[in-house]
Amino acid sequence: MKSRGLILAAVSGLLIQVACGEKQESRFGATMQPVPAGIVAVRYESIQSVVEAPGIVQPRSRISLSSQINGFVREMNVRVGDIVKKDQTLAMLDARDAQSQKAAAQAAIDEAQAALSEARKARQAALEMQAAAKASSELAGQTLNRYQKLLESRSVSPQELDEVRARRDTGAAELASREAMVAAAEDRIKQAEARISQVKAQAGRMDVMLSWTEIKAPSPGRIVQRQADPGTAIFPGTPLLVIESIDKPQVLANIPAQQLGILRIGAAIKLRDTETGAVCEGRISEIVPQSDPATHSIQFKIDLPSNFSMPSGQFVKVEASAGNHEALLAPRSAVRQTGQLTGIFVVDAASKAHFRLIKIVAFDAERVEVLSGIEPGEKIISIVSDQIVEGIPVVER
């Protein structure tokens, strides 16, 4: 009897399981009706490889103006943000020391020129006396020649010849003295001219110092830093102002050194504003052919188009072309993001959708590149809706 009861209990349990199974199958069949969906097959496509790099907008030139003299700031004519023109006076420094040294140099020039004038007059007088002494010496020499001939004919006495010879020697000595005077006068002229050159050089240095007291804009641009005010004490090297150019800004970017080969001067580069998403195209203008030992990266510069306005210091994303490669592309609408899981619904041979985890990277506004998770030729649902669940039958619409 006991065994018969066990058999009846087993049969009853089996009947309950069958009934429950029939009920579950009925409910499953009711909720898993086929749904229409867009179906596409993923295949390899040849796309452009892009290397992304961070970049920062910077002015084409940045000029720091500093003091070259001791003193203080007398005037400051600009403020931060002002647009300035080339050679515009930006600041005035104390010029009294330079002006006094300039006046001293000018006085020295006047003194040296006066000395030069006196030396030239002395030389002229010495030349005139030299000419007279030369004429007298030549006359004495001619007279001595005549007296020597007269002595041979006994027309003059030896004593008279000696007297003429003495006058000849005296004239020669006088001529030598006058020649020495001329040479001395010419030396004084050279000394005066050298002194004038020296004090003029000093005056030129004072002119340079005076020019340092007037701070002018070396090029047009915008004042981005003002580091001194009227009355500020200054020394050589004291920073005063910083000017940045406003025309033709550039982007400074870095790329891994091993990818240097994709860069070339004049190549087009896509630039994307990290804040607004605005995109423009620039061109490489400079490549630094030296790797940074700390970051192992290469620095390069990109000229921005004239119609692309962006403040200095703004970050941008630089996208450089690295040739083409084969990639699996899928619609962004086919991707379902669930927490940290990224997946896509693959349609099998029985037309049922199965959720599969994938790894993707952004490609453009409408598509993503699938790096792993699906194979070429597999079919996926192009637009995922709430109706698409694991194992649901789908019909292509």
pLDDT along the chain (397 residues), means of 10: 38 34 38 84 83 86 90 92 93 84 83 84 82 80 78 76 79 80 84 84 82 90 92 92 87 86 85 80 86 85 79 83 83 89 92 92 85 90 89 88
What is residue 336's predicted lDDT score, i.e. its pLDDT?
Answer: 92
What is residue 1's predicted lDDT score, i.e. its pLDDT?
Answer: 37
Burial environment of residue 394 by CB neighbours within 10 A (0 to 12, 13 to 18, 19 or more):
buried
What is residue 292's predicted lDDT score, i.e. its pLDDT?
Answer: 80
The CATH number linked to 365 is 2.40.420.20
Query: What stretch of H or E contains 298?
Result: strand 297-303
Euclidean distance between CA atoms 365 and 367, whole angstroms: 6
Burial environment of residue 60 by CB neighbours within 10 A (0 to 12, 13 to 18, 19 or more):
middle
Residue 23 lies in a domain: no
Considering the domain architecture, whether residues 237 and 301 belong to the same structural domain is answered as no
Residue 312 lies in a domain: yes
- The encoded tokens of residue 10 equal 């087993």
Q: What residue numbers bound the domain in which 200 lies?
A: 96-212
Query: What stretch of H or E contains 360?
Result: strand 359-362
Among 197, 214, 182, 188, CA closest to 77: 214
User: Which of these three, 198, 228, 244, is where a domain ends?
Assistant: 244
What is residue 11's predicted lDDT score, i.e. its pLDDT?
Answer: 33
Euclidean distance between CA atoms 264 and 33, whole angstroms: 58
Expressed in angstroms, the distance from the first to the final Cα of the chain is 63
Considering the domain architecture, whether residues 312 and 233 belong to the same structural domain is answered as no
Considering the domain architecture, whether residues 184 and 226 belong to the same structural domain is answered as no
Among 149, 170, 171, 176, CA closest to 160: 149
Considering the domain architecture, whether residues 240 and 250 belong to the same structural domain is answered as no
What is residue 65's predicted lDDT score, i.e. its pLDDT?
Answer: 94
What is residue 31's predicted lDDT score, i.e. its pLDDT?
Answer: 55
**DSSP 8-state secondary structure symbol assigned to residue 378:** -
Considering the domain architecture, whether residues 318 and 294 belong to the same structural domain is answered as yes
Outline where the chain has alpha helix (H).
2-31, 96-152, 158-212
Considering the domain architecture, whether residues 320 and 331 belong to the same structural domain is answered as no
Amino acid at 343: G
User: Which of these three, 196, 228, 244, is where a domain ends?
Assistant: 244
Residue 291 lies in a domain: yes
User: Which of these three, 324, 353, 373, is where a domain ends?
Assistant: 324
Find the helix packing angle between 96-152 and 158-212, rounded to 10°.
170
Residue 343 lies in a domain: yes
Burial environment of residue 138 by CB neighbours within 10 A (0 to 12, 13 to 18, 19 or more):
middle
Considering the domain architecture, whether residues 208 and 106 belong to the same structural domain is answered as yes
Euclidean distance between CA atoms 282 and 303, whole angstroms: 5
Among 192, 298, 309, 176, CA closest to 246: 309
Q: Domain count for the chain, please give it.
A: 4
Other beta carbons less than 10 A from residue 72's beta carbon: 13
- The encoded tokens of residue 60 equal 């084409």
Considering the domain architecture, whether residues 132 and 202 belong to the same structural domain is answered as yes
Residue 1 lies in a domain: no
What is residue 58's predicted lDDT score, i.e. its pLDDT?
Answer: 87
Considering the domain architecture, whether residues 123 and 196 belong to the same structural domain is answered as yes
What is residue 75's predicted lDDT score, i.e. its pLDDT?
Answer: 92
Considering the domain architecture, whether residues 320 and 390 belong to the same structural domain is answered as no
pTM above 0.85, yes or no: no
Concatenating the DSSP letter of every residue in 181-234 gives: HHHHHHHHHHHHHHHHHHHHHHHHHHHHHHHHTEEE-SSSEEEEEE---TT-EE
Backbone angles phi, psi at 335, to 5 degrees: -95, 135
